[in-house]
Structures are given as structure tokens and as C-alpha cells.
A and B are shown apart, each in its own frame.
Chain A
């Protein structure tokens, strides 16, 4: 399968890889997917008091497209409000990375991950 240059770039130079302390009050963690399905994505966001995402980190077990989708997402959500981040659609990720049809589920997973991270953050408030 041929990958787009953007997928390869994110895969070879993933942005914002890492972990945050999930117990901190201003950190939201979203972990989606399952090892049995071949992909697990963990996205973490650090949110300011006025509801802006100041930092984002990810770790992903999955194919190159899954890694690229989560890497791209961390770039996109930084500086956005929670509402803006929650409005990111998987189709935008798929389009930006030129994902083939069999890899669309990777972008869906990324959308699920940010939503889960936001929910986790809100549940702490």
C-alpha cells in the first residue's frame, strides 16, 4: 500500500509524542481502540482555566495511518478551545492525510480520541 507523503512525514517525525499525568486536574485523557483490533490511541490535553488547550500529547499503537492521524490531531488541537477541538471531524483528518478508504477508521479513532479526552477533562470539573 502506498502512503501519502503527509502520512510518511508524521510517521517518521511524529509530533507531540509523550505522556502527561492523567491525575492532574487540568489534564484530559482519551484512550480509544483495542489491542485486538490492531490500534490503540491515547490522546492527552492540558487545558487552561479559560478552556483553551495549551498542550497535547499522544501515544499510538497502530498502523502508520493511525500514528499519523493522532500526530496531526495533536498539532490541530493546540491553541483551540474545547468546543473548537470537539468540532474537528474525522473527514478533515482523512482529507489532510489523503487516507485511502481502508484507513478511514484511523481518522475516526482520532476523532473519538479527542472527544474522549475532552469528556475526561470535563468530568473532572
Chain B
């Protein structure tokens, strides 16, 4: 077993060897290097063929029509294109957008920008388990609401939103519905025939494809119009100009093809590993699972170890590559906005660790992690004045802290 062990699959995944091989075939003089837009010779035709094959593979995973897939540079660009594209195109119809406080920054910061342009945005508070309450959601809709953007699976806590039910509500009210599916594609079955979703963002590098490539599903029935954000050669039906990156697209296509084939088996194995990790940690006192445990992808386990600060735990767990909701890991001093939106207090937000598992996680790695966590939680709690006070029965909320 090699260390450090990778437990950060929600941040990115390694490219699957089978994907890398396909990508390498599209680069050099002997490979499929042509510009897919070159319609005057075979190099271009072959590249175009490869791109269209990949487009079909992406569409197949979500049971969509390949014509509904637009390639972008990643989920961030897809989110931007969907939200700004709709807002700008439909601004005469209305200026109100509904999203949630636990969305990815690519959605939240895009909405902030639209607010500066004069749009009005409602940011919904999720329930303490991370899920959106449908009644509260309905109440947030207005006559001038043009767009709803709700993510499918949350990147920090892995909870799955009921996009089927949300789609029923938005479609009935003729409001466009965008879903950020960066964390759900390849983990949760998605059927665009069933879902009333108008726009959906995808990323390749979260499911063993390369970084730098993503896609936006733009529904055709009913037809969704977008104002392009990138202008140029009119690629991707005018919605996203720029030479198509054949090797990236082919990599994404292969990754999505493999996801479709292996998702069920992968999920079953990963769920078993996640349960093993959860069971192994269950005897540690004062631990809290963040986010609903049932409505959740098995790949994610986000736990707060009370009275232990997240960054120091990450430092102790140097053989495990995990991430933390503590502010200290980033330049900002605010702890995870997602955990705070769940109503978790700052202490628990600072004490959270996200384990994300994936295709290459093994049982041996899980057992090693359980042992390391046990050792280090004990050590850090011995160091923690808060733990000592807790053990003495002091209620930490009664103390007047001098916050800085």
C-alpha cells in the first residue's frame, strides 16, 4: 500500500488508464490530431467523428440526445453559461433567480455577478440535513422567476437533492431549471427523459476523465435559449465558440462510457467501503455526520470530530489525503459556508473532515485510515483545552470567549 492514500475523489479523480490511452491517440502526427472544424479534409473529418462519438457517450450516460450536449472547459464554465446565458436571454421575461446557499461557488458567484447587473436572487437555506424543503422552495418562486439552479449532489456533504420533484414544480410554472451535476454524474443514475431539467452541468475530471473539459446539457424539448458567453467561430451551435479539444472530449466521452458500464458495481463496492469506514469510526465519542446519511452518495463521508480542529487533524493524518471544512486550510478565516448553512455551529464546522472515496479505494486503505484517525483524535484531544473542559462537564456555550 502506497501512502499518502487518496481520499479526496470529490476534489478530483485520477484519469482512468483506459481514458488516458484514448486521449493519447488524439495528439501526435500519427494520431487523430485534426481540427474537428476542418471540413475540407480527412484529418478534420476523423476528428469530428471522434468528437461526435464522445458527444454520444456523454449523452448516453444521462439518456439524452447528443444534440443536447455542448462541450465547455468544465463545470464552472457550464454553470456560468447556463445561468448567465439564461438570465441574459430571458431578462425581459423576469429578473428573479432561485438557488441555494449550499451551491458550489461557480453557481453562487455567478449569481452574485447577476445581482450586480440588476437581477434579484433568492438563496434558499437547506434543512439541517442539507436537503431543500420543497414547500419552502415553492414559496420562494415568484411570477418573475426565470431560473432555478439547484445542484444534484453536494460537493462537501454528498447529499442528493430531489431534482425530480423540483423539476415537476419548475416545469409546471414554466421556469427554467439548471442542475449542477458535477458531483452526481457517474454516481447517481440520471435519465433526462424522466427529469424535467432544462440545463445540466458536467465535469469530466470528477469521474476519471481529464481536467479542463466539461459539458452543458441544453434541453431541446422544451427548447432552451442561451446567450453565448464566449464568442468566435460559432462552434457548438453558437453557444460556445472555440476550437474543440479533441483529446479532452474523447477522454470525457470514454470516462462517461466507463461510468455507465461500471457505475452500479463501483457504487456497491464504494458503499461497502464507506460503511466500513463509518463503522470503524463509530466508537469515537463526539463525532457528527454532516448531511443526510440516506439521501447521499456513498462516495462521501463528512464528519466533525468535536473539540479537534480540522487543520491540525489533517496535519496529523499526513498519510491520508483528505480535505477539511475548516477555514484554516484556506486563506479566508471563515469555516465552510456549506456546513454553516446547515446550521452547524462554527466549532463543528472547524472540526470537519471530508473523506471521499472512489474507484481505486481499497479495503486495506480504509482499515489503515481508521487506525490513523483513532490514534490522532486521541492525541489531539489530549492537547485540546476544549476536550478537557467537556470532560469536566463544562458547557462551552456558557463561557465568554474573546473572539478575535
Residues of A within 8 A of B (CB): 1, 3, 11, 14, 17, 19, 31-42, 59-64, 66-67, 102, 105, 108-109, 112
**Cα–Cα distance between A19 and B347 once the two chains are bound (Å):** 22
CB-based contact A1/B403 at 8 Å: no
Which residues on B sit within 8 Å (CB–CB) of A40? Answer: 385-386, 401
14 A-B residue pairs with Cβ-Cβ distance under 8 Å, sorted by A, are A11-B315, A19-B388, A31-B385, A34-B402, A35-B347, A35-B401, A36-B346, A36-B347, A38-B309, A38-B326, A40-B385, A59-B384, A64-B312, A108-B404
Smallest CB separation, B58 vs chain A (Å): 36
Partner of A61, one of B345, B386, B402: B386
**Which one of B13-21, B61-69, B327-335 contacts A?**
B327-335
Q: Which of A38, A60, A108 contacts B327 (CB 8 A)?
A: A38
Contact A3 B384 (CB under 8 A): no
Please indicate the chain A residues that have their CB under 8 angstroms from the CB of B388 in the complex.
19, 59
Chain B: minimal CB distance from A12 (Å): 9
In the complex with contacts A36-B346, A37-B403, A109-B404, A59-B385 CB distance below 8 A: yes
Who on chain A is nearest to B401 by CB? Answer: A34
Is B224 at the interface (CB under 8 A from chain A)? no
Asked if A38 and B335 make an inter-chain contact with CB atoms under 8 angstroms apart, the answer reads: yes
- Pair B385/A63 contact, Cβ less than 8 Å: no
CB contact under 8 A between A36 and B401, given known A1-B329, A63-B311, A67-B312: yes
B265 contacts the other chain (Cβ, under 8 Å)? no
- Asked whether B350 lies within 8 Å of A38 as measured between CB atoms, the reply is yes
Majority-rule SS of B interface residues: helix
Report which residue of A38, A62, A64 has the largest number of chain B beta carbons within 10 angstroms of its beta carbon.
A38
Chain A residues with CB below 8 A from B331, complex form: 102
Alpha-carbon distance between A31 and B396 when the two chains are bound, in angstroms: 13
- Asked if B346 contacts A37 (CB within 8 A), the reply is yes
Question: CA–CA, A109 to B327, complex, Å?
Answer: 17
Expressed in whole angstroms, the Cα–Cα distance for A67 and B384 within the complex equals 10
> Mostly helix, strand, loop or mixed at chain A's interface?
mixed
How many Å lie between the Cα of A108 and that of B315 in the bound state? Answer: 21
Evaluate contact between A17 and B309: CB separation under 8 angstroms. Answer: no
Q: Are the C-beta atoms of B385 and A60 separated by less than 8 Å?
A: yes
**Are B328 and A38 in touch, CB under 8 angstroms?**
yes
* CB of B323, distance to nearest CB on chain A (Å): 12
Counting CB contacts under 8 A, is B9 at the interface? no
A64 neighbours in B (Cβ, 8 Å): 311-312, 315
How many Å lie between the Cα of A62 and that of B309 in the bound state? Answer: 5
Contact of B309 among A31, A39, A105, A108 (CB under 8 A): A39
Q: Which residues of A contact B401 (CB under 8 A)?
A: 33-36, 40
Q: Does B382 contact A (CB under 8 A)?
A: yes
A61: chain B residues at CB < 8 Å are 307-309, 383-387
Query: Contact flags (1/0) for B176-205 with A, using CB distance below 8 Å?
Result: 000000000000000000000000000000
**Contact string, B276-308, partner A, CB cutoff 8 A, digits 1/0?**
000000000000000000000000000000011
Whole-angstrom CA separation of A31 from B389 in the bound complex? 12
> Is B383 a contact partner of A17 (Cβ separation < 8 A)?
yes
User: Are A63 and B328 touching (Cβ within 8 A)?
Assistant: yes
> Residue on A with the closest CB to B400?
A34
Distance (Å) between the CB of A13 and the closest chain B CB?
Answer: 11
Q: Which residues of A contact B345 (CB under 8 A)?
A: 36
Q: Complex: how many Å from CA A109 to CA B328?
A: 15
- Measured between alpha carbons, how far is A118 from B310 in the docked complex, in Å? 30
Contact call B385/A32, Cβ cutoff below 8 A: no
Question: Do A34 and B383 touch across chains, with their CB atoms under 8 A apart?
Answer: no
Assuming the A-B contacts A59-B383, A67-B383, A102-B331, are A34 and B312 also in contact, with contact meaning beta carbons closer than 8 angstroms in the complex?
A: no
The one of B310, B347, B383 that contacts A60, using a Cβ cutoff of 8 Å? B383
Q: Which residues of B contact A35 (CB under 8 A)?
A: 346-347, 350, 386, 396, 401
Give chain A nearest CB distance to B79 CB in angstroms: 28
Known: A11-B315, A38-B327, A61-B309. Contact between A32 and B402, CB under 8 A? yes
Which B323-361 residues have a C-beta within 8 angstroms of A?
Answer: 326-329, 331, 333, 335, 345-347, 350
How far apart are the CA atoms of A105 and B331 in the complex, in Å? Answer: 12
Return chain A residues, CB-CB under 8 Å to B328: 38, 62-63
Choose among B335, B382, B387, B404 the residue that contacts A33 (Cβ–Cβ < 8 A).
Answer: B404
Report the Cα distance A112→B403, complex, angstroms. Answer: 12
Find chain A residues with CB under 8 A from B326 CB: 38, 63
Minimal beta-carbon separation of B311 from chain A (angstroms): 4
A60 to B328, CA, bound (A): 15
In the bound complex, CA of A93 to CA of B335 (Å):
25
Q: Closest residue of chain A to B315, judged by CB?
A: A64
CB pair A36 B403 closer than 8 Å: yes
Q: What A residues does B335 contact at CB under 8 A?
A: 38
Residues in A neighbouring B312, C-beta threshold 8 A:
11, 62-64, 66-67
Top 3 closest A-B pairs, CB basis?
A34-B401, A36-B346, A63-B311
